[in-house]
């Protein structure tokens, strides 16, 4: 039996291809927690007195973020609230909403569920029946961000914590580069700050997706394991498959992609620092770089179909 390379006593649950490190359950949990806290400190993601809104889907990433923040930061240091978005995806979303609700209740943390139906009069299922030229992720991402930002302002949160992991970050880097969307590239990073939107932080951005899933199992966290049925046809899924295939023979490829991007991100951000002059959307009143924000523009498009 192979034993843990750190404690030398217990059965191994993971052997990292990129480093050869073998860890038992307890050492693995401790390792992930330390890595996340190191990211938080290195990137200065959290300050004493912060009120943080965790975007809690019930999936492995958001549950792990909440677990680590709740474990390592006492209430007197930061205040945590949670919000769950019900996009209205039949035979999929209800389980995640229940898991998120139950976990927030177990931790005694303020929690709210907000649906696309109540916010926009449409579920994602109905949106996809109406739309014939946009992918589900285009609508879902825009609508989710609108709700989460509005909820953060309502709760007086000064930061939003999301569960973006290493896979998510490298996929976003490659997607936007291949699409030539340098403006969106300028928005990628551990902390996304803005004068008009609530800043977003990504404590998990240096942890691979697989390891987040294993962390949830090791800690016996109740997580929503089903994959979004719309994700199968998304461009992100295609990029995800490319990166996973590359990682088989090049296990450090995602780490090097992220580190390489982080070396040039300041130059990219500086190019677009003053490119957006935000005003207010004439319909919903939320920040917008044009007369209609993207949410209201999408809704106008959908309601005209």
Question: How far are the Cα atoms of 49, 92, 168, 213, 260 from residue 207, in angstroms, in the given order?
Answer: 26, 26, 10, 10, 16
Asked if residue 171 and residue 49 are part of one domain, the reply reads: yes
pLDDT tens digits for range 91-126: 999 999 999 999 999 999 999 999 999 999 999 999
CA R_g for the chain: 20
**Residue range 246-263: mean pLDDT, rounded:** 96
Query: Please, what's the b/e burial string for 29-44 (b: 16 or more CB within 10 A of its CB; e: otherwise)?
Result: bebbbebbbebbeebe
Nearest residue to 203 via CA among 100, 97, 70:
70
Verify that 222 and 207 share a domain, yes or no: yes
pLDDT at 232: 82
Report pLDDT for 276. Answer: 63
Distance CA 13, CA 217 (A): 11
- How far are the Cα atoms of 14, 18, 99, 103 from residue 251, in angstroms, in the given order? 14, 5, 32, 33
- Six-digit token pair at 244? 């996973």
294 and 247 co-located in one domain: no
The pLDDT value recorded for residue 164 is 97
Please state the separation of Cα 233 from the chain's center in Å. Answer: 20
Tokens of 53: 């809104």
Number of domains in the chain: 2
Tokens of residue 264, six digits: 């040039």
Q: What is the pLDDT of residue 289?
A: 84
Q: What is the DSSP code string of 182-218? A: HHHHTT-SSEE--SSS--EE-TTTTS-HHHHHHHHHH
Q: How many CB atoms lie within 10 A of CB 11?
A: 11
Q: State the pLDDT confidence band at 274, using cuts at 50, 70 and 90.
A: low
Shared domain for 186 and 125, answered yes or no, is yes
- Whether residue 151 lies inside any domain: the answer is yes
What's the average model confidence in pLDDT over 273-301? Answer: 87
Q: 63 pLDDT band (50/70/90 cuts)?
A: very high
Distance of CA 215 to the CA centre of its chain: 16
pLDDT tens per residue, range 202-244: 999 999 999 999 999 999 999 999 999 988 878 999 999 999 9
**Is the pLDDT at 305 greater than 80, yes or no?**
no
Evaluate if residue 26 carries a pLDDT over 90. yes
Question: What are the two backbone dihedrals, phi and then psi, of residue 261, each rounded to the nearest 5 degrees?
Answer: -65, -40
Q: Is residue 82 part of a domain?
A: yes
Whether 68 has a pLDDT exceeding 70, the answer reads yes
The answer on 168 and 233 residing in a single domain is yes
Q: How far apart are CA 222 and CA 103, in angstroms?
A: 8
Give the percent of the chain with pLDDT over 90: 80
Q: Are residues 121 and 216 in the same domain?
A: yes
Q: Distance between CA 143 and CA 302 in Å, rounded?
A: 13
Domain that holds residue 211: 42-273
Answer whether 0.85 is exceeded by the pTM. yes
Kindly state whether residue 107 falls inside one of the protein's structural domains.
Answer: yes
């Amino acid at each position: 039996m192979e034993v843990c390379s750190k404690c030398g006593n217990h059965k191994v649950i993971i052997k990292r291809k990129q480093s050869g490190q073998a860890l038992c359950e307890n050492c693995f949990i401790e390792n992930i927690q330390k890595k996340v806290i190191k990211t938080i400190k290195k990137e200065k993601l959290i300050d004493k007195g912060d009120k943080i809104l965790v975007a809690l889907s019930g999936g492995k990433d958001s549950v792990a973020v909440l677990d680590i923040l709740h474990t390592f930061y006492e209430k007197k240091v930061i205040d945590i609230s949670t919000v769950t978005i019900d996009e209205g995806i039949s035979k999929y979303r209800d389980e995640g909403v229940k898991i998120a609700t139950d976990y927030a209740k177990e931790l005694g943390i303020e929690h709210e569920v907000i649906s696309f139906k109540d916010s926009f009069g449409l579920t994602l299922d109905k949106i996809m029946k109406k739309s014939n030229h946009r992918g589900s992720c285009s609508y879902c991402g825009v609508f989710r961000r609108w709700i989460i930002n509005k909820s953060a302002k309502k709760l007086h949160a000064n930061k939003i914590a999301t569960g973006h992991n290493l896979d998510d970050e490298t996929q976003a880097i490659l997607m936007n580069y291949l699409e030539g969307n340098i403006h969106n590239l300028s928005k990628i990073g551990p902390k996304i700050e803005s004068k008009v939107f609530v800043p977003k932080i990504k404590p998990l951005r240096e942890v691979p997706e697989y390891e987040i899933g294993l962390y949830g199992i090791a800690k016996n966290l109740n997580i929503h394991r089903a994959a979004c049925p719309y994700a199968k046809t998304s461009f992100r899924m295609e990029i995800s498959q490319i990166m996973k295939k590359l990682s088989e023979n090049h296990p450090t490829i995602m780490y090097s992609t992220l580190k390489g991007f982080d070396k040039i991100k300041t130059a990219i951000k500086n190019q677009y620092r003053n490119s957006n002059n935000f005003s207010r959307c004439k319909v919903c009143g939320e920040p917008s770089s044009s007369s209609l924000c993207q949410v209201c523009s999408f809704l106008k498009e959908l309601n005209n179909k």
